Amino acid sequence: MFVTTILTMFFGATGPFVGAIISPLTKTRHGFVGTFAACMTLQHLIKVTVFGFLGFAFGPWLWLMIAMIVTGFMGTLAGSMLLGRMPETTFRMGFRTVMTLLALNLVLQAAGINLV
């Protein structure tokens, strides 16, 4: 967890790293999503704590952070409804595809190639 937290400070997104680690450890999509969410929450809490100790001023960003939390929660609700209707194999294939594309994007960004 601490390794991925440090990586996110340099790469910005560590979902592909965390997903690759926990995917083989979970048997169901619900278990995977719950474990992934817990790992990402812990990772972000560690990062916020470290940035706070380093003196980052969160005040000017408060409304943006609130908006991100609200929209993230709405996405969680929508994702929960979709997850309950999706077959296990479709979820696994879709997750691997999305994580592969995100990881490829990180590699391209590291090479100085921005697609967006």
Q: What is the pLDDT of residues 6-25, one digit of tens each?
A: 776 666 667 777 888 888 88
pLDDT at position 102, please? Answer: 81
Q: How confident is the model at residue 103 (pLDDT cuts 50, 70, 90)?
A: confident
Which of 51, 37, 28, 40 is closest to 1 using CA atoms?
40
Task: Specify the residue for token string 């296990």.
Answer: 88
pLDDT at 73 over 90: yes
17 φ, ψ (degrees, to nearest 5)? -65, -50
Task: Tell me the per-residue pLDDT of 77-92, one tens digit each, with 9 for 90 and over.
Answer: 999 999 989 999 999 8
pTM: 0.75
Judged on CB neighbours under 10 Å (0-12, 13-18, 19+), 91 is middle
